[in-house]
Amino acid sequence: MPRSGPSYRSTLRSKTNKQRLERTVAMSILRTQSVHASHTSVLRRALGPGALIALGIGAIIGTGIFVLTGLAAAQHAGPALVVSFIMAGFACGMAGLCYAEFAAMIPVSGSAYSYSYATLGEGVAWLVGWLLVLEYLFAAATVSVGWSGYVVSLLRQIGVHLPDTISQSPFTRVEGRGIIATGAILNVPAVLVVAVITAMCYSGIKQSANFNTAVVTIKVIVIVLFIVFGVSCINVANWHPFIPPNEGPGRYGWDGVGQAAAIVFFAYLGFDAVSTAAQEASNPQRDMPIGILGSLIVCTILYIAVSAVLTGMVRYTELNVSAPIAYTLDQYPSLGWLSFLIKIGAVAGMTSVILVMILAQSRIFLTMSQDGLLPGAFSRVHPNFQTPGFSTLVTGTVAAFVGGLLPVNILGELVSFGTLTAFLVVCIGVLILRKTRPDLKRPFRVPAAPVICTLGALSCGYLIYMLPTDTWIRAAVWTLIGVTIYSLYGYKHSVLNRPVVRKTVSRG
Q: For ligand ALA, give the closer residue by CB, 64 or 149.
A: 64
Q: Which of 267, 342, 428, 452 touches ligand ALA (CB under 6 A)?
A: 267
> Left if phi > 0, otherwise alpha if psi is -120 to 50, otherwise beta: which for 111?
left
Q: For ligand ALA, give the closer residue by CB, 222 or 267.
A: 267
Q: Which of 152, 269, 302, 399 touches ligand ALA (CB under 6 A)?
A: 269
| Distance (Å, whole) CA 1 – CA 12 | 14
Amino acid 278 reads A
| Distance (Å, whole) CA 400 – CA 398 | 5
| Distance (Å, whole) CA 148 – CA 409 | 14
> Left if phi > 0, otherwise alpha if psi is -120 to 50, otherwise beta: which for 248?
left
Site for ligand ALA in 352-391 (CB under 6 A): 353
Q: For ligand ALA, give the closer residue by CB, 60 or 118.
A: 60
Q: Which of 56, 58, 64, 324 touches ligand ALA (CB under 6 A)?
A: 64
Q: Is 346 in the site for ligand ALA (CB under 6 A)?
A: no
Q: Is 412 in the site for ligand ALA (CB under 6 A)?
A: no
Q: Is 289 in the site for ligand ALA (CB under 6 A)?
A: no
Q: What is the tally of helices (H) and strands (E) in the chain?
A: 19, 2
Helices 284-313, 253-268: axis angle to 10 degrees equals 130
Closest approach, Cβ 246 to ligand ALA, in A, equals 27
Q: Environment class of residue 274 by beta-carbon count within 10 Å: exposed (0-12), middle (13-18) or buried (19+)?
A: buried
Q: For ligand ALA, give the closer residue by CB, 73 or 269.
A: 269
Site for ligand ALA in 136-175 (CB under 6 A): 139, 143
- Which of these ranges, 223-231, 267-275, 339-347, 379-387, lies near ligand ALA under the rule CB under 6 A? 267-275
> In whole angstroms, how far apart are CA 37 and each of 21, 216, 276, 374, 508?
27, 34, 16, 17, 9
Q: Judge contact between 168 and 182, C-beta under 8 A.
A: yes
The closest alpha carbon to 454, from 95, 83, 121, 84, belongs to 95
Q: For ligand ALA, give the closer residue by CB, 202 or 266.
A: 266
Binding mask 4-43 for ligand ALA (x = CB under 6 A): ----------------------------------------
Phi then psi dihedrals of residue 166, to 5 deg: -115, 10
Q: Is 54 in the site for ligand ALA (CB under 6 A)?
A: no
Q: Which of 56, 256, 270, 418 touches ligand ALA (CB under 6 A)?
A: 270
**DSSP 8-state class, residue 281:** B
Q: Is 417 in the site for ligand ALA (CB under 6 A)?
A: no
Q: Is 95 in the site for ligand ALA (CB under 6 A)?
A: no
Angle at 384 between CA 379 and CA 386, to 5 degrees: 40
Nearest residue to ligand ALA, using CB?
Answer: 62
- For ligand ALA, the binding residues (CB under 6 A) are 60, 62-64, 139, 143, 266-267, 269-270, 353
